[in-house]
Amino acid sequence: MIQGIIPKGGRMSNYSNAARDVKRALSDFLEKHMFKGLSVPERKFVADAVYGLLKSGSPLVSEQARALCEPAKLITTEKRLCPNYSSLELSKFSSNIAGFSVRELMDFPYQLDIDESDVIKPYGREFECLGLVRDGSREGRPREKGYHVTGVVGCCRNGTVAPVSLTLYSTSQEGYESLSRETEKAISKAFAHMPEKSHCTCTFDRGYDSSEYPNWLDAFGAFWVIRCRSERRWEVDGKAQTAVEWAASKKGFYSFKFTDKEGRKVNVKATSAKASHKDILRGNPVWLVAEYFPDESLPRVYMTNMDCSDKEGVKRALKAYRRRWPIEEFFRFVKQEFGLERFEVRSLKAINNFFLIVQACCCFIGKIIAEKGRLYEACMSFWEGFGDDPEGIADSEKYGKSELRLYRAKRGIQSILAHTSGRPEINRRSRKPKPNQLYLF
């Protein structure tokens, strides 16, 4: 077995010591944060699934079972894991993930980024309630067989992500109501762990330009920033007009400079105005904010309940929306590194349980990055030690700096665990000795 490598920095790294540290950190992470309120069977399954996914990086149960390196036959391990994916009710585990992301990873004041994605299964036949979705990865967005996915990610400044919720659903499943209802359920998981919801800002893309979200969030006292669609009509400046028509008739009143995700300096102009709509409750004033880019013909327009009467208010709203890029990184990261579109479990319950395991793995990786301790340095050095990078993960121009840390930390953990066979030690509940039924002496 390979005992060590010499990374680019010249420091010797030992696989045995690094594997021991990873297992110990994973055991502490599960015991302190993920096991609260879980039964013994749920604890055992979560520990095996999280470790198997971190070590194998594969969504296939067979690969996760092989990564556990149990003395029994492989089919025996598979038959233990597969029924648990489809039978266990892991709602408490889901709450633990959301609570850990809010309390340990997210910055204060809070910001939640919400977006919609999809999982395409063009050749699937036996998946439960398989519907039709628009494939966002292909030009023209053709309709394909698949599922909708709603993601809620907390905003962090330390180069990681805080996965609050990742829910897969189908429009044909029993109990489905609407996209807005599924989104409200996902956001409620984060709100349940926030002591002050008035210090939270929720950002949405154009697909969420609806009156339901502002009305629902205003009831909690939370702030929101939503990018407007071009066809919605508003009452602004004393007449009814679309947001784009209003923005086109104005010129940028404020000037801003910001650095985009690729590190380029961008000069933009912006303007704002109070607006109203018959479907949005009038408890709080609604502002339209138009942003003008020099290389774009049409302005971008956002609606928000933040006070945008001055330059600082406009800057705060635009900054909040620009900070929502981590959710795009999160979707790409989990799809590439954990094969989010290559699962083979068929029931919706099993798929969502697999998504929970993926979120727990991301929380563990995020915890390592946030702490920036010895284990973080070990993961970074192990990935650098391989030298060759055929997949271009180390290309900082292709990936942002925060996303690059996610890839490198995940690949470092996987490389370390690939050279060990034992599993992390999880504290078991001690059984009380049974009283003797009869004492003769």
Give the pLDDT confidence of 418-439 residue by residue, as tens digits.
888 877 877 655 455 556 555 5
User: Strand 200-204 relative to strand 223-227: parallel, antiparallel, unpaired?
Assistant: parallel
- How many other C-beta atoms lie within 10 A of the C-beta of residue 12? 11
Give the pLDDT confidence of 349-390 residue by residue, as tens digits.
999 999 999 999 999 999 999 998 888 888 887 766 544 454
pLDDT of residue 264: 76
6, pLDDT greater than 70 = no
Q: For residue 299, how far is the Cα from the chain centroid? A: 29
Residues 6+ apart with CB under 8 A from 44: 426
The mean pLDDT value for 75-89 works out to: 93
Q: In residues, how long is the chain?
A: 441
How distant, in Å, are the alpha carbons of 252, 310, 432 from that of 257?
A: 13, 16, 66
Residues 6+ apart with CB under 8 A from 113: 152, 153, 154, 155, 202, 203, 323, 324, 326, 327
Give the pLDDT confidence of 300-321 residue by residue, as tens digits.
999 999 999 999 999 999 999 9
The pLDDT-based confidence of 46 (bands split at 50, 70, 90) is very high
The pLDDT-based confidence of 25 (bands split at 50, 70, 90) is very high
Q: Is 205 within 8 Å of 117 (Cβ atoms)?
A: no
- Percent of the chain clearing pLDDT 70 (strictly above): 87
pLDDT of residue 403: 59
The mean pLDDT value for 286-294 works out to: 91
Give the pLDDT confidence of 112-162 residue by residue, as tens digits.
999 999 999 988 888 999 989 988 777 777 889 999 999 999 998 777 889
pLDDT of residue 434: 57
Residues 6+ apart with CB under 8 A from 10: none
The pLDDT-based confidence of 394 (bands split at 50, 70, 90) is low
Q: Is 250 within 8 Å of 271 (Cβ atoms)?
A: yes
Query: Whole-model pTM?
Result: 0.88
- How many other C-beta atoms lie within 10 A of the C-beta of residue 74? 12
pLDDT of residue 389: 53
79, pLDDT greater than 70 = yes
Lowest mean pLDDT among 91-95, 106-110, 132-136, 263-267: 263-267
- Percent of the chain clearing pLDDT 90 (strictly above): 50
What is the pLDDT of the chain when averaged over all its residues? Answer: 85
Q: CA-to-CA distance for 115 and 46, rounded, in angstroms?
A: 27
